[in-house]
């Protein structure tokens, strides 16, 4: 999973908005100035890690019919 940390810039706060990759490393970061942070998420690498780490994420463990029921119940 990728994480985003969003924070107000100086002088109201210390800034430091960032995008963290699935290994916990900072992928992109803004300093204390106001700005917009845009980054590319490497989903291919994430899928490769998930497949090697745990088969829970694989297609054989997905149940699309159950997802449809959940989506219909939430409406």
| pLDDT over threshold 90, residue 67 | no
Pair of tokens at residue 68: 């449809």
- Taking the C-alpha atoms of residue 26 and residue 20, their distance in angstroms, rounded to an integer, is 4
Q: Which pTM value belongs to this model?
A: 0.59
- Mean pLDDT of the region 12-35: 85
| pLDDT over threshold 90, residue 20 | yes
3-state secondary structure at position 35: coil
Q: Are strands 3-5 and 26-29 parallel, antiparallel or unpaired?
A: unpaired
């Amino acid at each position: 999973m990728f994480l985003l940390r969003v924070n107000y810039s100086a002088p109201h706060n210390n800034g430091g908005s960032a995008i963290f990759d699935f290994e916990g490393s900072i992928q992109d970061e803004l300093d204390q100035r106001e700005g917009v942070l845009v980054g590319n998420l490497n989903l291919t690498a994430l899928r490769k890690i998930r497949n090697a780490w745990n088969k829970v994420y694989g297609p054989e463990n997905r149940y699309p019919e159950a997802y449809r029921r959940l989506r219909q119940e939430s409406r």
